[in-house]
Structure 1
Amino acid sequence: MITNIIFRRSDSPMTSDKPHYENKLPNGWCLTNIGELLINRDGERKPVSSAIRNKQKNKVYNYYGAAGIIDKVDGYLFNERLLLIGEDGANLLSRSKDNAFFADGKYWVNNHAHVLDAIDKNLLDFVAIVINAMKLDDYITGSAQPKLSQDNLNKIPIALPPLYEQIRIVAKLKYWFSFVDCIEYNKGNLQDTIKQVKSKVLDLAIHGKLVPQAPMDESASELLKRINPKAEITCDNGHYQKLPEGWVITSISEMCENINGLWKGKKEPFVKVGVIRNANFTKDFKLDYSKIEYIDVEERAFKKRHLLNGDLIVEKSGGSDNNPVGRAILYEGKDAIFSFSNFTMVLRIHYKDVLSYKYLYYYIMSKYQKGEMRLMQTQTTGLHNLILDKYLDIPLCLPPYQEQQRIINKIEETFGVLDLIMENL
């Protein structure tokens, strides 16, 4: 059984059970509260204003507030491991950080965190676990500025096991917490790895190494010449000396029409249209329909610039140093419902029996992820602008049409597995 030596005073009222506890406490446990169990050292706290802290020069000691370290100061109040519990602030309710945390070594605490001590400091570890596992709403006053007063803190009940059981519980929880931390750390690494794998899959795809070639496929050059005898194509060049059998090198400009985006205009009649902007481009090369804005545009302009299924919308102006322009987002929707803004353009394929829009989409995505678009932009008045000639002259390694379909299927099959892994991390 627990002996009174671990309590703040020997006349602490304790009970082994309470009517509002649905289940009885295990043998050897008792129900107490923080006020009876721990030593409150709030009287030793001392706030230091930001004006004074800014003037201090030898700031080497941690300065704690309601949710952790907020600054450094040139002195300290405590020189031991103590339990701190936030006294006020939004974190008491949101619990985005632990409300109970430890400070050790030499440090200073302001008046926004309760300071708790114990005769046996093993108690502090157990109480910290209990506090961080429970909702404190019933003990918090104020909504605009939530506050956990010392009186209410003292009332928080603690179901307390024997000392050695506390130690075993804390040790086991620390083991599992470290295990969870390890998973979280590796989760981030795995997410980065999955992104790299996707980029590698695309790179293999556009170089003919993702799926095998099939001799019965009609070569891309023969198909293209049959449809467009004037097409400028080559089966090899200095940069692509190992072009797979049946592939040709052409360019985006040869295979696509590029259409500049829509200006709002001022001439009637108007028509209300959903206009796709840069803000609708997601980082994973998808189209976010939730952010599409509907506006009145000139009917005549819309007739020339409405989206067709299979169009690739390219960001030609905007971007940033970390996210250059040149992203292409695939539109797979109904015709004549959406248009695209003047910060974008559309690539519309001339020969859909030769080039699949999905293959072109993944091809441009691969080029973008490899950083090639950084060489195709200029910067003026804070905006990054795509150099259209360079972009449209990107060499397009074109496989036979049947092979394009096999490549698309393999990419989407692989991406589906990787996305499933990401969703379940």
Structure 2
Amino acid sequence: MENILLEECCDILDSRRIPITASKRKKGPYPYYGANGVQDYVADYIFDDELVLLAEDGGNFGSKDRPIAYRVSGKCWVNNHAHVLKPKSGLDVDYLCYSLMFYDTNGLVNGATRQKLTQAMMRKMLIPKRHINEQQTIVRNLNKICQVKWLREQELERLDTLIKARFVELFGDPSLNTKGYPVKSLPEIAEFWNGLTYKPEDVANKGTIVLRSSNIQNAQLDFADTVRVICKIGEKKYVQDNDILMCSRNGSARLVGKVALIKNIEEPMSFGAFMMIIRSHYYPYLMTYFQLPAFRAQIKTGATTTINQITGRMLNNVKVPVPKEPELESFISFMEQVDKSKVAVQAALDKTQLLFDSLMQQYFG
């Protein structure tokens, strides 16, 4: 199939980008976009159009499940970490986005620690040249699958909401301790520690899986994007069933504190330095508690402005109402039933994802 250079089919609007430091942003209704999506909301906008943003630096380069390009529509602000592309006549904006989402940037990006797709290299990128009618047919097919994926994801979110509702029904509001439970510090009922530090040269195709932030999806483990290492791993750097895996540090504040429960381990696994393991007899209770505003409110006072993180010292100061054993057992039983439903929904979502991947390979591979 004939291809076309990106610079020939798009207007590149990078010169209109304006980065704003966090301290100088005025809060408002307009999304402030970076390499991987919304970073903030600001009081003004510099674009009002149908555009595709392509990561310049800090993008998900090389990932099979996290895109490097995304669509934006209407009034917005874009910083200097994303290239701004406006399709020319004859190019559908959604088709452009799909063609770039999982583009193989091997040989195009540079940088040892923070990979960058320069504008010069971006201009050399190629996309399949198709008639506008064929482009729109492809877009319709992919949009339908994305809609099904979204519905499955919403179903998973509703099941998580159901668990949280049952939590409050059984245990009351933990921030108010409406059940009058004895209050203990987190270290009294749980152990927690940070993960494995490894070097780039330790990464290998064969070795021990190291769980990272990307492996937590919808409060469950996801192995679509895994890293394996060959290096010395201490005993406490391996996870066990019923451990809670928590993202303790990330460039995105919304990802810090997200959790997944370790279940049914089939091979030894470790966890990365920006992750934390919480091990406790109260794991079902704590798993949900960590996702509630009550927990966020307690750790918020220890947050910094330069690094989004949860530290061991911050967790030391967390106070937790401790439920009675019969109520805990009832909650465990309820969680197990909901988890069965989540497994079924996740299986359907995985099938939909496989179909999406197959069509993406067919159209753009």
Coarse TM-score class (shorter-chain normalised): 0.3 to 0.5
Between the two structures, name the one with larger relative contact order (CA 8 Å, sep ≥ 6). 2
TM-score by structure 1 length? 0.41
Query: Of the two, which has the highest radius of gyration?
Result: 1
TM-score by structure 2 length? 0.47
